[in-house]
Amino acid sequence: MSLALVGITVLWVFLYGYLIVASIDFGAGFFSFYGKWTGKGAVINDVIDRYLSPVWEVTNVFLVFFLVGLVGFFPDAAYYYGEALLIPGSVALILLAIRGSFYAFANYGARESTLFLFLYGMSGLFIPAALSTVLTISEGGFIIEQGGRVVFLANELLTSPYSWSVVLLALVSVLFISASFLTYYASRAEDQEALEVLRSFALFWSLPTIFAGFLVFVTLREHNPQHFHAMLDVSWMFVASMGCFLVALGLLMRRKAYGMAFLFVMLQYAFAFFGYGVSHLPYLLYPYVTITGSVTSPAMGQALIAAFVGGLALLIPSLWLLLRLFLFDARYVKGLRP
């Protein structure tokens, strides 16, 4: 495997990791607010808090990992995106900063405030929308090079049907992934009331995700035919994604094996995300930046891979310990243990 391919695979895996853990986090924020607003809050907030408290910081690291890795493996991509995305990037950063820090403040009492929950819940929807537009931009047509300058066409982005389909997909996916995970967590906690509420959320958001997925397909065909045809070449991955979705939905409807259901949701997104990623290659930013044209020097590439292997050797046992203590420890999940 070439260095470029290793690099993009590593980055894509981490972006997928961020997609899952951040969705759980963002969706939980929205459900907290929705719960407070409709009066169902007390039922689900316990479950949400107990899971999020020890892991919120880790979620953020996944994103930073991707950003730093992108600069490391593909410095040219950092240049193009950096030049072009000053304003949207900064706005996303400010939202992330508000949300990240307020999460910690929330543990010390701010949670009772409705204004706080409103900001917290809304930023949970705006951030995925903002971040997903970077994927939209990577399809080309929104960043052009003009007279040696890189220019971002914000108006094109705001009026593109494709761009809005991606935003829609991001929003409903966040809510679906989060609700199906929290359903599983509530079932582990044997918290029937929370389980029922969260299960209804998961079912409610399941169909829109598939609908939005199709919408993205259709609009991409207009926007970037080259990529659309590449996607057809790996269409089995999207079929597999659909299959996993149906299994997950079936399990949720039959009130069975919520852990397995969440696993199938993860697989559903894994197939779709990697299918999208594979067909996107070799472009990082269509048509200016390809993975081979912008990859870092071989010496740095090798050093980064060595660092990555070493880092994973530390990371995987640590993450496993974290999960074992707070996710797979039944007594902690039920709130019986500190």
Q: Which residues contact 29 (CB under 8 A, 6 or more apart)?
A: 99, 120, 121, 123, 124
307 lies in the binding site for other proteins (CB under 8 A): yes
Contact 201, 179 (CB under 8 A): yes
Other beta carbons within 10 angstroms of residue 59's beta carbon come to 20
324/329 Cα distance (integer angstroms)? 6
Based on the shown chain and the rule CB under 8 A, indicate whether residue 190 belongs to the binding site for other proteins: no
Is 58 a binder of other proteins (CB under 8 A)?
yes
- Does 87 participate in binding other proteins (rule CB under 8 A)? yes
Q: Is 72 in the site for other proteins (CB under 8 A)?
A: yes
**142 counts as binding other proteins under rule CB under 8 A:** no
Assess 273 for contact with other proteins (CB under 8 A). Answer: no
Nearer of residues 38 and 108 to other proteins, judged by Cβ: 108
* Helix-then-strand count for the chain, H and E: 14, 4
When asked if residue 316 is in the footprint of other proteins (CB under 8 A), the reply is no
Q: Using an 8 Å Cβ cutoff, are 10 and 69 in contact? A: yes
Using CB under 8 A as the binding rule, whether residue 100 contacts other proteins is answered as yes
- Helix residue ranges per DSSP H, 224-326: 225-233, 235-253, 258-280, 291-294, 298-326
CA 81 – CA 77 distance, rounded (Å): 6
Q: How many positions of this chain bind other proteins (CB under 8 A)? A: 69
Least gap, CB of 133 to other proteins (angstroms): 15
Binding of residue 76 to other proteins (CB under 8 A):
yes
What is the contact surface with other proteins in residues (CB under 8 A)? Answer: 53-55, 57-58, 60-61, 63-65, 67-69, 71-73, 75-76, 78-87, 89-91, 93-94, 96-98, 100-105, 107-110, 149-150, 152, 296-297, 299-300, 303-304, 307-308, 310-311, 314-315, 318-319, 321-322, 325-326, 337-338
